[in-house]
A and B are shown apart, each in its own frame.
Chain A
Amino acid sequence: MTNSPQQTWVRSVAIAVMATVIMLAILIITAEEVPALKNWLKATFYHHWLGKGALSLGLFAFLSIVLGFIKSEKPPLSKIIFLEAIFVILSVLAIAGFFLLHLLKLV
């Protein structure tokens, strides 16, 4: 089987999504715990939410393009997409879990 450009895009974007959602979870939680980071996001991007969006867009675009140059057939796309779904679930649970703990004043 040849590695088609479409296959390469599906793979590179899926891996970029994995990295982006993990970066987002870390950035969001760290910004709540480290005021200096949240202040830097506000000062640099006007609003911390815009900063998180801009950084995630930047990382996602960079990784999608760079990984697009890597021609690989393994692991198969089905495994990559499954892993992507797991990464997304973990990231969302980490974000929601953090704000729940924050609400309960446990962090």
Chain B
Amino acid sequence: MTTTLATFLVVHVLTGVLGIGLHNVTLMHILKKTPDYASIMRLAWSAFVMYLISWGTSAYYYVTYYGTSVKPRILAGNAPFAHNFFMETKEHIFLVLPFVALSIALSVTYLKNNPDDELRKKTAFLTLVAFVIGVAVAASGIFVSGSI
């Protein structure tokens, strides 16, 4: 693995984990009785940016390295399902996250100027969904890494 690929992989993992953490904090703040929407906005937009960076860096690693150097080793090892299920699922459901993160960021931006309790609750639910997907993707990534 080249230094560039290693750097991209590290950035992909770190920004992905940061995105998940930021959505967790976003969710905790939205659930407060009197949410501070200025802070929530910063958290939600930061999560969106983190997912965009994670998306871009993973694309480079996945397209140029994973398929030729990592996937064959997983398939030849003791846990081929790490690729056949966990990686296949992870790489595809990850495509959904940046879009959802943008929608969450826009919704809390709107809430800052237009408090709406029903929208606050539904945005919290959407953030929970994004958080759970993020955790599932990260857990799959850990499993894939450990399967080689």
Contacts and interface: CB of A to CB of B under 8 A. Distances in A.
Interface of A: 4, 6-7, 9-10, 13-14, 16-17, 20-21, 24, 28, 46-47, 49-50, 52-53, 56, 60, 76-79, 81-82, 84-85, 88-89, 91-92, 95-96, 99-100, 102-103
The winner among A20, A89, A92, A100 for most chain B CB atoms within 10 A is: A92
B85 A13 contact: no
Interface stretch (B2-10, B12-20, B31-39, B117-125): B117-125
Contacts, number: 111
A78 B121 contact: yes
Contacts of B116: 77-78
Given A6-B109, A85-B122, A92-B93, A17 B114 contact: no
Given A6-B110, A81-B119, A82-B125, A96 B93 contact: yes
Interface in B78-116: 81, 84-85, 88-89, 91-93, 95-96, 99-100, 102-103, 106-107, 109-110, 113-114, 116
Given A10-B106, A88-B133, A78 B89 contact: no
A53 B92 CA distance: 9
Interface of B: prevailing SS: helix
A60 B95 CA distance: 12
Contact of A102 (B84, B102, B121, B129): B84
B124 to A, nearest CB: 10
Contacts of A102: 84-85, 88
Contacts of B123: 81
B114 A6 contact: yes
A103 B114 contact: no
A47 B60 CA distance: 11
Contacts of A13: 102-103, 106
A53 B63 CA distance: 12
B93 A77 contact: no
Contacts of A16: 99
Contact of B103 (A7, A17, A96): A17
